[in-house]
Amino acid sequence: MTTREELIGRATVLCVDDERHVLWSLERLLHRFGCRVLLANTGSEALDVLEREHIDVMICDEAMPGISGTEVLREAKTISPDTKRILLTAHCGDEEVVLSAVNDAEIFRLLPKPWKEGDVRRAVGDALGLSVGTTRPTGAPTAPLPLSTEKGGEDNT
């Protein structure tokens, strides 16, 4: 029987952002979570990685020079349709960005920037089909959970 830790340890997450400190924060968080983490500074670099590597989950920032995160995730859907796509953005209230991400890139989850560590762990765990920090019983549907509204927790940018 495969344990939760073994499943997470086999998972590869690709993080895409043009800001190094954001990539390092995500890398540190996801390594502690047990995932293999790959980093890309640009959308084109991310798409190159996606063509060479099996990626389980892709977390991509929306606002990057040259190509938006939504465009990167839309292309990622074509290259690797089974990769779960998560959009990271400081513009969650921008209806156009959200609609395009959901309708065109078919994202799995939208995470705000700054994020709460628990929200990132939960999103990645849900994308992998695991219940992480939730009360949902094993085998229950993995519909996206609402983002944390509780005060506190560690914010990251």
The larger pLDDT score, comparing residue 132 to residue 151, is at: 132
Strand runs labelled E in 3-135: 12-16, 36-40, 57-61, 84-89, 109-112, 115-116
Q: Contact at 8 Å (CB) between 63 and 90?
A: yes
What does the pLDDT look like over 14-36, one tens digit per residue? 999 999 999 999 999 999 989 99
CA gap 101, 90 in Å, rounded: 14
Domain 4-144: CATH class, spelled out: alpha beta
What does the pLDDT look like over 94-126, one tens digit per residue? 677 777 778 777 889 999 999 999 999 999 999
pLDDT of residue 103: 73
pLDDT of residue 126: 94
pTM score, whole prediction: 0.78
What does the pLDDT look like over 47-79, one tens digit per residue? 999 999 999 999 999 999 999 999 999 999 999
Report the percent of the chain where pLDDT is more than 90.
Answer: 59
Number of C-beta neighbours around residue 78 at 10 A: 9
pLDDT of residue 7: 54
Structure tokens at 76: 């990622």
